[in-house]
Amino acid sequence: MSALVQLRLLAHARARVVGSTLIVALALRDPSDWRRVRAGATAAKVGAWFSFLRPRMVRRVELAGLTAFHYRFENVAGAGRGHDLAFDLDGRAFAQKLLDMPVQVQAERAEALTSRLLDPI
């Protein structure tokens, strides 16, 4: 049995817009989720999730030693503005958008992830 969960339960992300290129890094919270995220967040699936940007190409680099993925979107629509590293609102919004993407996990894993949300601090 499987369930859909948002990537935000499995990872955290950072993004940056440089010219007409969007770069998003996705780092897993738990290395045991590597295979799930690898299958659920392919370059094609992430590109489809960001289809509103009309990227010419989406590339994914796997950083297995860091349990992270690096996505590079080429020629995205609406990009091309100059940005300050300390104040990149577009980048922050795109990182959050990726974290909203649903991925398939086993039902037990979904239960464990969502139960943490309800635990008191």
Taken in order 10, 61, 104, 57, the sign of the CA dihedral is: positive
C-alpha–C-alpha distance, residues 97 and 41, integer Å:
13
Closest C-alpha among 72, 63, 71, 2 to residue 36: 2
The residue-averaged pLDDT of 2-15 equals: 94
Average per-residue pLDDT for the chain: 87
- Model's pTM, two decimal places? 0.84
Q: How confident is the model at residue 58 (pLDDT cuts 50, 70, 90)?
A: very high
Please spell the DSSP secondary structure of 65-120, one letter per residue.
GGTEEEEEEES-TT-----BTTB-HHHHHHHHHHHT-EEEEEHHHHHHHHHHHHS-
Q: How confident is the model at residue 31 (pLDDT cuts 50, 70, 90)?
A: very high
